[in-house]
């Protein structure tokens, strides 16, 4: 992820350097081409960032589901009331966290 961001920033920086050079040369046509290419690059960078954010949200969602499955197994196989209460509370908290995450995921797709 960090390499992608660094590469993207370098590409944008390169476009800006070329744009400054085109301005020094008073080459209007080249300036317009560079501005369009820069605009396209910035849109792509934003899309990559958004994709990465959504993937992170989904990974967190999957981790919560894995934790829930583990806790349900513990709950099912235990007769200890104190443990069962503790696991039930953890399950409840994870379910609430998952609901928040679902809303974030839905909002991310709505703004895509």
Q: 33: Cβ–Cβ under 8 A, 6 or more apart, which residues?
A: none
- Judge contact between 59 and 50, C-beta under 8 A: no
Q: Is the pLDDT of residue 5 over 70?
A: no
Separation of alpha carbons 30 and 79, rounded Å: 75
- Strand, coil or helix: what is 57? helix
Q: pTM of the prediction? A: 0.63
- Residue 99, judged by CB atoms within 10 A of its CB (0-12, 13-18, 19+), counts as exposed
Separation of alpha carbons 87 and 71, rounded Å: 6
Six token digits for residue 44 = 């792509």
Percent of the chain with pLDDT over 70: 89
- Judge contact between 42 and 12, C-beta under 8 A: yes
Separation of alpha carbons 65 and 94, rounded Å: 8
Domain extents in the chain: 2-110
pLDDT score, position 65: 96
pLDDT score, position 112: 57
pLDDT score, position 46: 76
Q: Per residue in 59-91, pLDDT tens?
A: 999 999 999 999 999 999 999 999 999 999 999
Six token digits for residue 27 = 């080459």
């Amino acid at each position: 992820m960090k390499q992608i961001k660094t590469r993207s920033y370098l590409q944008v920086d390169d476009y800006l350097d070329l744009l400054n050079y085109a301005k020094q040369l008073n080459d209007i046509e080249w300036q317009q081409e560079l501005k369009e290419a820069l605009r396209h690059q910035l849109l792509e960078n934003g899309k990559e960032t958004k994709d990465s954010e959504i993937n992170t949200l989904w990974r967190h969602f999957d981790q919560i589901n894995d934790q829930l499955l583990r806790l349900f197994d513990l709950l099912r196989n235990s007769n200890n009331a104190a443990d069962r209460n503790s696991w039930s509370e953890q399950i409840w908290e994870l379910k609430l966290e998952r609901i928040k995450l679902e809303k974030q995921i839905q909002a991310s797709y709505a703004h895509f």
